[in-house]
Amino acid sequence: MSEENWFDAIEVGDCFHSEVEIEVTAEAIIAFAETYDPQPGHLSEELAKATPFKGLAASGWHTAAITMRLLAETGWTDTIGLGVSLKWPTATRPGDHLRLEGRITSKRLSESRPDTAILGIEYTTLNHDGEVRQITEATVMATSTFHVPLHRD
Amino acid sequence: MSEENWFDAIEVGDCFHSEVEIEVTAEAIIAFAETYDPQPGHLSEELAKATPFKGLAASGWHTAAITMRLLAETGWTDTIGLGVSLKWPTATRPGDHLRLEGRITSKRLSESRPDTAILGIEYTTLNHDGEVRQITEATVMATSTFHVPLHRD
């Protein structure tokens, strides 16, 4: 595929979603927290009761890592993240089944590297009840190996 | 300590840093990627050669998770992240020893919850050569259990 074709195949407004859900267990929440975010709200149900979470909640960084996996599960690949902003309206809880819905919000070719696209994407991480666990706005670099997500809406 | 005292003890401009460094191995990069970010640049040295990284690079989400651990190592605890923005000027590489430098950029009491502070913090994740791997700007909630980091500069 020529450079023009791969870039033209990217459409602003294109929506995509994860085909799988990822279940988040208490064990996974605690294991992640022990390595990366050892704070009471993430370490045990007992310790978490005394925190504003009032019970075990996943580290936001755990939700962020699972969200990356969900993004990969949409078929998204071969981009390099330049910057992101995250919001956590609610915390991921044990028993959550997380999924992702995303869309492409902007595209342009890099001025310094005309073989490289700069894409804006937004994606939301939701649980099985539709509660929003994370909202991500990202700017990524993509080259001709980039594939538009398989699971387009 | 009274509510007033814990809030007054927080000073805008206060700087803090991690006392430890975290070494990032190729094995850790690959293990994180297999679970959370299965893209060629993070999965093996061989696959990564053909990517813009030109060699194995940690997922930005791995750098973000390690950065949270470094933040905890400053003595920072008992805050809840509301939102963050991340930039990855360069990617974490095998053999990096990461450390964190941070500062408090703003503070106010919540209007709806006067026992809760809203803090702005900025922190930078650097390797042993001083290369910047991540820049984080975060807004967090803190209550009276919040401790000002132990390792103030």
B85 vs A82: CB contact, 8 Å cut-off? no
Contacts of B58 (CB under 8 A, 6+ apart): B24, B29, B32, B33, B42, B91, B92, B93, B96
Q: What is the pLDDT of residue B1?
A: 47
Contact residues on chain A for B37, CB-CB shorter than 8 A? 65, 68-69, 72
Q: For chain B, what is the radius of gyration of the CA atoms?
A: 17
Looking at the complex, does the CB of residue A114 fall below 8 Å from at least one CB of chain B?
no
On whether residue A151 sits in a domain, the answer given is no
On whether residue A3 sits in a domain, the answer given is no
Contact residues on chain B for A72, CB-CB shorter than 8 A? 37-39
Could you give the ipTM of this predicted complex? Answer: 0.90
Q: Which domain holds residue A86?
A: 15-24+59-142
Size of chain B in residues: 153
Per-residue pLDDT tens over the stretch A56-112 = 999 999 999 999 999 999 888 778 888 999 999 999 999 999 999 999 999 999 999
The model's pTM: 0.91
On whether residue B117 sits in a domain, the answer given is yes
On whether residue B7 sits in a domain, the answer given is no
Contacts of A72 (CB under 8 A, 6+ apart): B37, B38, B39
B61 vs A68: CB contact, 8 Å cut-off? yes
Four-CA torsion A105, A110, A113, A115, nearest 10 degrees: 40
Establish how many alpha carbons lie within 13 A of residue A66's alpha carbon, considering only the half-sphere containing its beta carbon.
30
Looking at the complex, does the CB of residue B77 fall below 8 Å from at least one CB of chain A?
yes
A65 vs B61: CB contact, 8 Å cut-off? yes
Contact residues on chain A for B143, CB-CB shorter than 8 A? 52
Crossing angle of helices A60-73 and A26-36, in 10° steps, is 110
On whether residue A47 sits in a domain, the answer given is no
Q: Which is more confidently placed, A126 or B151? A: A126
Count of domains for chain B: 1
B65 vs A39: CB contact, 8 Å cut-off? no
In chain B, what percentage of residues exceed pLDDT 90?
Answer: 74
Residue of chain A whose alpha carbon sits nearest to that of B83: A87
Distance between CA B10 and CA B95 in Å, rounded?
35
Distance between CA B59 and CA B82 in Å, rounded?
22
Amino acid letter, A127: N
Q: What is the pLDDT of residue B5?
A: 81
On whether residue B149 sits in a domain, the answer given is no
Per-residue pLDDT tens over the stretch B34-65 = 999 999 999 999 999 998 899 999 999 999 99
Alpha carbon B107 to chain centroid distance? 19
Q: How confident is the model at residue A151 (pLDDT cuts 50, 70, 90)?
A: low
Per-residue pLDDT tens over the stretch B117-132 = 999 999 999 999 999 9
Contact residues on chain A for B61, CB-CB shorter than 8 A? 61, 64-65, 68
Q: Which of A36, A39, A84 sits opposite B85 (nearest CB)?
A: A84
**pLDDT exceeds cutoff 70 at B99:** yes
Name the 3-class secondary structure at A90.
Answer: coil
Q: What is the pLDDT of residue B152?
A: 60
On whether residue B31 sits in a domain, the answer given is no
CATH for B95: 3.10.129.10
- Give the residue from B80, B115, B132 with the most A CB atoms within 10 Å of its CB, the best one to mutate: B80
Looking at the complex, does the CB of residue A22 fall below 8 Å from at least one CB of chain B?
no
Q: What is the pLDDT of residue B143?
A: 83
On whether residue B52 sits in a domain, the answer given is no
